[in-house]
Amino acid sequence: EDKVVQSPLSLVVHEGDTVTLNCSYEVTNFRSLLWYKQEKKAPTFLFMLTSSGIEKKSGRLSSILDKKELFSILNITATQTGDSAVYLCAVDQYGGSQGNLIFGKGTKLSVKP
């Protein structure tokens, strides 16, 4: 059975800390891995990763994929209270339900001032 596992499920840090969120997967016909940030409402897209070892960066956020070991990490440096959210990892498959994503359960990040 295809699955995506995120860890930890929740995390509390203080402003200025650096955090690493983990996502491992066991999925047939892997196509890409995506990270989303979900605050109160819609999940918003952060990164799409298709190749191993190529870091994607956006400001204080970065992510990398390891297709041999079947995992990805999302790093957030110098965290701010605005980073508090649920971070979702999802995997896209070739030949899956016409572009459906398989989601992990998410990591809830709380950043305290």
Number of residues that bind other proteins (CB under 8 A): 23
If one asks whether residue 30 binds other proteins (CB under 8 A), the answer comes out as: no
Per CB under 8 A, the list member of 17, 22, 70, 103 interacting with other proteins is 103
Q: Which residues contact 29 (CB under 8 A, 6 or more apart)?
A: 93, 94, 95, 96
If one asks whether residue 32 binds other proteins (CB under 8 A), the answer comes out as: yes
If one asks whether residue 44 binds other proteins (CB under 8 A), the answer comes out as: yes
CB-wise, 76 or 101, nearer to other proteins? 101
Q: CB–CB of 87/36 below 8 Å?
A: yes
Beta carbons within 10 angstroms of residue 8's beta carbon: 12
If one asks whether residue 58 binds other proteins (CB under 8 A), the answer comes out as: no
If one asks whether residue 98 binds other proteins (CB under 8 A), the answer comes out as: yes
User: Which residue stretch of 28-36, 51-59, 63-71, 74-82 sits at the interface with other proteins (rule: CB under 8 A)?
Assistant: 28-36
**Contact set for other proteins, span 73-92 (CB under 8 A):** 88, 90, 92
Q: Which residues contact 34 (CB under 8 A, 6 or more apart)?
A: 45, 46, 47, 48, 49, 89, 90, 91, 92, 101
Helix, coil or strand: residue 105: coil
